[in-house]
C-alpha cells in the first residue's frame, strides 16, 4: 500500500465534541496546554456510585445542532456523533446541503456501549407504566449501529456504511475500514466514534470492570505509567473524520490534513494485560509494514495508557519490542489523561490530537502524570516542540482487542 501512489486515504475534515472542547480548535488548545477537565460526575442519578470521576461534555446542547425529528429518536451518543460529523463535513468543505454524489459517501462508526441512557428511560416506562408506554424508537436508539444510520440518513449518504463492534480499539478499526472503502473506490467516508457512557444504567454496566478507577480526587484518578496508577476514568464525547481519496481532495483543492498510512489489529482476550504486550507489538509491526515505515520513522506515539500497572508495563514493553531502541527515544504521550477514556472514541480523539500535533509541530503533554516509572520518554507537564511527520496511535480494549494506526502528515510530505 505504501508504494501505491493513487487512492491513498486522506483526512480532510475533523469534527470533535470532547470534554475539553466542543470544536476542534478548542480541543487542540486544551490538549496542547495539558489541561485536565476530569471532575466529579454531575449527571443526574449518578451521584451515589463508586465511580465518581469522569470526563463529561458539559453544556452540550444538541437541540442547537440537530433537528427535533432526529433528537426524539436518538441517544446522547448519537447526538455527539451527528454533531461531530457535521463539524467534520464543514471542515472538509462538504457541509450544507445534499451531497452531489450520494452513492459515493459512506459512514462507518464504532461504538462500545450504545444508547444506554435512552434505553434506560424506555425500560423505566416499561416497568413503571407498562409496555404500551415504551416508544417505538427504543428499537433503534440504543443500538450500536444507530450513529452510523442516523448520520447517513441525516446527510443523505448512500454509499457503503458499516459499524465496527471490536471494543475500544474499534475506534482505530473504523478509520482503517474507511481507508479500505476509499481504496476500493468510495469517494468519501465519515469515520470515527462517539460514546455516552455517563448515565446511571451505563455506569452500572462499567462498575464490574476491575480496571475502572474509583479514586475520588480528579487529579489522582487516572495516572498511567506511574507507580500510583489506579485504573482509568471514563469519558463521553467523540470525533468523526472525513476520509477521502487523496486525489479527489487534491482535485477539490482542499488541504490534506493527514493520510491514514497503516493499521493492524490483534486480539489477546479480556483482562490478560500481560498478553497484550505481544498483541500490541504485533499490531504495531503490522501497521508499520502496511505504511512502509521503519521504526525510526515514527516521530511520536500516542499511547493507549490504560492506567493499570500490568497493562502499562505491557504497553511500554510492546513499544520497545516493536520499535527497538527507538522505542525508548521516541516521544510518547497520552493526552487522554486530561479527559478520560471515551471508549471507542478515545483512539479517534487521539488520532485527531496526532494530526493536530503534526500540523503544529508540538507533542502535547500527558496531564496529571509525573514520575514515569517505565522506560519511555513520556511527555509531561508541557508541550514539546518537534518536527513531526509520522505518528503512531495505539489502542486496547477491556475485552482484549489491540490496534495500531500510523498517520502521516498531510501537505507536501503526503505527496
Which parts of this chain interact with another protein (CB under 8 A)?
Answer: 67-73, 132-133, 135-137, 139-140
In angstroms, give the least distance from the CB of 281 to another protein: 47
Whole-number CA gyration radius for the chain: 20
- Least separation in angstroms between residue 130's CB and another protein is 9
Cβ proximity to another protein, 5 vs 132, nearer residue: 132
Apex 397 CA angle, 169 and 189, nearest 5 = 20
SS3 per residue for the chain: CCCCCCCCEEEEEEEEEECCECCHHHHHHHHHHCCCCCEECCCCCCCCCCCCEEECCCCCCHHHCCCHHHHCCCCHHHHHHHHHHHHHHHHCCCCCCCCCCHHHEEEEEECCCCCHHHHHHHHHHHHHCCHHHCCCCHHHHCCCCHHHHHHHHHHCCCCCCEEECCCCCHHHHHHHHHHHHHHCCCCEEEEEEEECCCCHHHHHHHCCCCCECCCCCCCCCCCCCECCCCCECEECEEEEEEEEEHHHHHHHCCCCCEEEEEEEEEECCCCCHHHHHHHHHHHHHHHHHHHCCCHHHCCEEECCCCCCHHHHHHHHHHHHHHHCCHHHHCEEECHHHHCCECCCHHHHHHHHHHHHHHHHCEECCCCCCCCECCCCEECCCCCEECCCCEEEEEEECCCCEEEEEEEEECHHHHC
Closer Cβ to another protein, 70 or 209, answer by number = 70
Please say which residue, 136 or 210, places its beta carbon nearer to another protein.
Answer: 136
Nearest approach in angstroms of CB 79 to another protein is 13
CB of 66 to another protein, least distance (A): 10
Residue with smaller CB distance to another protein, 61 or 375? 61
Closer residue to another protein (CB): 97 or 208: 97
Q: Tell me how far, at minimum, the Cβ of 157 lies from another protein, in Å.
A: 17
Q: Could you tell me the smallest distance in angstroms from the CB atom of residue 87 to another protein?
A: 22
Nearest distance from residue 247's CB to another protein, in Å?
A: 37
Query: Nearest approach, Cβ of 141 to another protein (angstroms)?
Result: 10
Amino acid at each position: 500500500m505504501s508504494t501505491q501512489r493513487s487512492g491513498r486515504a486522506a483526512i480532510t475534515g475533523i469534527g470533535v465534541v470532547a470534554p475539553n472542547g466542543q470544536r476542534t480548535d478548542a480541543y487542540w488548545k486544551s490538549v496542547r496546554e495539558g489541561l485536565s477537565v476530569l471532575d466529579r460526575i454531575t449527571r443526574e442519578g449518578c451521584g451515589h456510585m463508586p465511580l465518581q470521576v469522569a470526563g463529561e461534555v458539559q453544556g452540550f446542547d444538541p437541540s442547537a445542532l440537530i433537528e427535533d425529528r432526529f433528537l426524539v429518536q436518538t441517544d446522547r451518543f448519537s447526538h455527539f456523533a451527528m454533531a461531530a460529523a457535521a463539524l467534520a463535513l464543514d471542515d472538509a468543505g462538504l457541509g450544507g446541503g445534499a451531497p452531489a454524489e450520494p452513492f459515493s459517501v459512506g459512514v462507518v462508526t464504532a461504538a462500545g456501549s450504545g444508547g444506554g441512557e435512552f434505553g434506560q428511560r424506555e425500560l423505566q416506562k416499561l416497568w413503571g407504566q407498562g409496555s404500551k408506554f415504551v416508544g417505538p424508537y427504543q428499537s433503534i436508539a440504543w443500538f450500536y449501529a444507530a450513529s452510523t444510520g442516523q448520520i447517513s440518513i441525516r446527510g443523505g449518504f448512500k454509499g457503503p456504511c458499516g459499524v465496527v463492534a471490536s471494543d475500544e480499539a474499534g475506534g482505530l478499526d473504523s478509520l482503517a475500514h474507511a481507508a479500505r472503502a476509499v481504496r476500493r473506490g468510495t469517494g468519501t467516508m465519515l469515520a470515527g466514534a462517539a460514546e455516552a457512557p455517563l448515565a446511571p444504567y451505563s455506569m452500572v454496566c462499567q462498575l464490574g470492570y476491575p480496571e475502572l478507577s474509583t479514586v475520588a480526587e480528579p487529579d489522582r484518578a487516572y495516572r498511567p505509567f506511574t507507580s500510583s496508577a489506579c485504573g482509568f476514568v471514563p469519558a463521553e464525547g467523540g470525533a468523526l473524520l472525513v476520509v477521502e481519496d487523496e486525489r479527489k481532495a487534491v482535485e477539490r483543492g482542499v488541504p490534506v490534513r493527514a493520510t491514514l498510512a497503516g493499521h493492524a489489529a490483534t486480539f489477546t482476550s479480556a483482562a490478560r494485560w500481560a498478553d497484550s504486550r505481544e498483541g500490541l507489538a504485533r499490531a504495531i509491526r503490522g501497521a508499520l509494514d502496511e505504511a512502509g515505515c521503519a521504526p525510526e520513522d515514527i516521530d511520536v506515539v500516542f499511547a493507549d495508557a490504560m492506567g493499570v500497572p500490568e497493562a502499562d508495563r505491557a504497553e511500554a514493553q510492546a513499544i520497545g519490542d516493536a520499535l527497538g531502541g527507538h522505542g525508548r527515544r521516541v516521544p510518547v504521550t497520552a493526552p487522554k489523561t486530561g479527559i478520560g477514556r471515551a471508549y471507542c472514541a478515545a483512539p479517534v480523539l487521539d488520532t485527531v490530537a496526532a494530526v493536530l500535533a503534526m500540523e503544529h509541530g508540538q507533542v502535547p503533554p500527558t496531564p496529571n502524570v509525573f514520575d514515569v516509572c517505565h522506560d519511555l520518554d513520556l511527555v509531561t507537564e508541557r508541550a514539546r516542540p518537534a518536527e513531526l511527520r509520522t505518528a503512531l496511535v495505539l489502542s486496547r480494549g477491556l475485552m482484549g482487542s489491540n490496534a495500531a494506526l500510523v498517520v502521516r502528515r498531510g501537505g507536501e510530505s503526503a505527496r
